[in-house]
Structure 1
Amino acid sequence: MVEKVLIVEDDLDIADLVRVNLHELGIQTEHLADGQSAMLHLATESYSLLLLDIMLPNVSGLDICRHVRQHHPEQAIIMLTAKDSEMDRVLGLELGADDYMTKPFSVRELQARVRAQLRKVQLLRGQIDKQAQDTYFNLGNLHIDLAGRQAKISTQVLDLTATEFELLHYLAKHPNKVFSRSHLLESVWGYHHSGYEHTVNSHINRLRAKVEHDAAAPQIIQTVWGVGYKLNALGLS
């Protein structure tokens, strides 16, 4: 199956650079230069991955990300940001972006990050298609439906993005085991790149806000200072 990526970028030189280098990987691309066109397009078309610039005419990439997450929480999204816009990058992650890249970026890194997101998309398809596989995972009062891509604590359904779901599932499969940020970045996101471990921090914080009674004093997803994070099985009893 040929993967399709939508590039929403108003800088035509950057859009051409992305398009050419994704075509080298055998990936089909489409390009739109403004946010309003992208919103209308996404109402009728689906893509394996969205590459969204933050600063767009008419509708910002952040607004598109927020809208897509509300209607298609499983959609893979990479945000493209200016090098000095740290707050935009943080907000993009808070709104549900799976990853981000700062401009200017290297071709090799672009290809690696896109491949990593597409591997996750392919894995998701494979999990859904596996009929014979046990599709349920339970740990205490945490219940994960792998085929339905749904997680619940007791009877409360958790509103998770695709990356949050994968992160929770990975931690739950290894209860009480401590993982470093770099290990989680490699195991859940599919790559390791020095300097991007705070992507894990942002997703952990968002996940805590959804699973904890008090995110400021977490009992389920805990920090082990100087090491990383673990899922405390006793917090799910």
Structure 2
Amino acid sequence: MEKETILIVDDEREIRNLIEIYLKNEGYQVLQAEDGQQAIDLLENTDVDLIILDIMMPTLDGLTFTLQVREQKDMPIIMLSAKSQDLDKIHGLSTGADDYMTKPFNPLELIARVKSQLRRYVRINRAPVQPRQENEIELDDLLINTATHEVRVGGRDVRLTPTEFDILELLARNRGMVFSAKHIYEKVWKEPFYRSDNTVMVHIRKIREKIEENSRKPKYIKTVWGVGYKIET
């Protein structure tokens, strides 16, 4: 079976070529774009399974590109940036990215993250269709279909990224159970949580903005201060 297609968007040719070498060694199909606008044009006629994206680019930067892509598509996006401050990372994840790495980066770590994101994305999008009721989690007026990756609130369709969906599903399947940020990270990203960062917090905030009527007074995802997060509806 043919491997997934990955789009590299970076204005530095050397970085694009380096990443491509590692990806092709893993058997992936690889496309390149030197800025966000070129990538947008390419996506109009090409199916892509994952995007590796630089933030600082001419013509159309990575943040604006991500916002535009998220209006229609939900493939995983891994951001690359020379900016390593927490606020920069939060900003990147808040636009809809699934992961964030700082330059310079270890290509082998990047490949590991690519594989992790693709496993999640492929599992969601290629899951066999089963009877609807067997795959539904219903919490008041929140409906989650784990087979079709559909989320509805009060009859309204909600578009979540693959990472956001996995976090919501984890909490919904274990209602009443409190998950720490560390536990959520290791369950969803499937890698050790070896540092304290805001990745989980940012994703929780984005989910709340999409499913809650008032994200400051959440009905579904509750914060247990000093412990973690839970759904108890």
Match in the other structure for 2:195? 195
Segments of 5+ residues of structure 2 without an aligned counterpart are: none
Deviations 1:184-230 (A, max 9, x none): 11222332342364111001011112222332232321122222111
Q: Name the CA distance, whole Å, in 1 between partners of 2:98 and 2:231.
A: 21
Match in the other structure for 1:172? 172
Match in the other structure for 2:15? 14
Letter of the aligned partner of 2:31 in structure 1? E
Percentage of matched positions with identical amino acids: 39
Deviations 1:74-114 (A, max 9, x none): 21111111134544432221111111111011122111111
Match in the other structure for 2:66? 65
Q: Secondary structure at the residue paired with 2:70?
A: helix
Segments of 5+ residues of structure 1 without an aligned counterpart are: none
Q: Name the CA distance, whole Å, in 2 between partners of 1:76 and 1:220.
A: 25
Q: Secondary structure at the residue paired with 1:184?
A: helix
Q: Name the CA distance, whole Å, in 2 between partners of 1:96 and 1:140.
A: 26
Q: Give the structure-2-normalised TM-score.
A: 0.90
Deviations 1:24-80 (A, max 9, x none): 2222211111222111111111111000101112111111111110011x2111111
Q: Following TM superposition, where does structure 1 have runs of at least 4 consecutive aligned residues deviating by more than 3 angstroms? A: 83-88, 130-133
Is the 8 Å Cα contact of residues 83 and 104 (structure 1) preserved in structure 2?
Answer: no
Q: Name the CA distance, whole Å, in 1 between partners of 2:85 and 2:60.
A: 18
Q: Secondary structure at the residue paired with 1:70?
A: coil
Is the 8 Å Cα contact of residues 76 and 162 (structure 1) preserved in structure 2?
Answer: yes
Q: Compute the displacement of 1:132 (Å).
A: 5.8
Q: Give the structure-1-normalised TM-score.
A: 0.89
Q: Secondary structure at the residue paired with 1:96?
A: coil
User: RMSD value over aligned CA atoms?
Assistant: 2.0
Q: Name the CA distance, whole Å, in 1 between partners of 2:87 and 2:226.
A: 25
Q: Compute the displacement of 1:122 (Å).
A: 1.9
Match in the other structure for 1:186? 186
Match in the other structure for 2:79? 79
Q: Compute the displacement of 1:148 (Å).
A: 3.3
Q: For this pair of structures, how many residues does the alignment match?
A: 231
Q: Secondary structure at the residue paired with 2:93?
A: helix
Match in the other structure for 2:38? 37
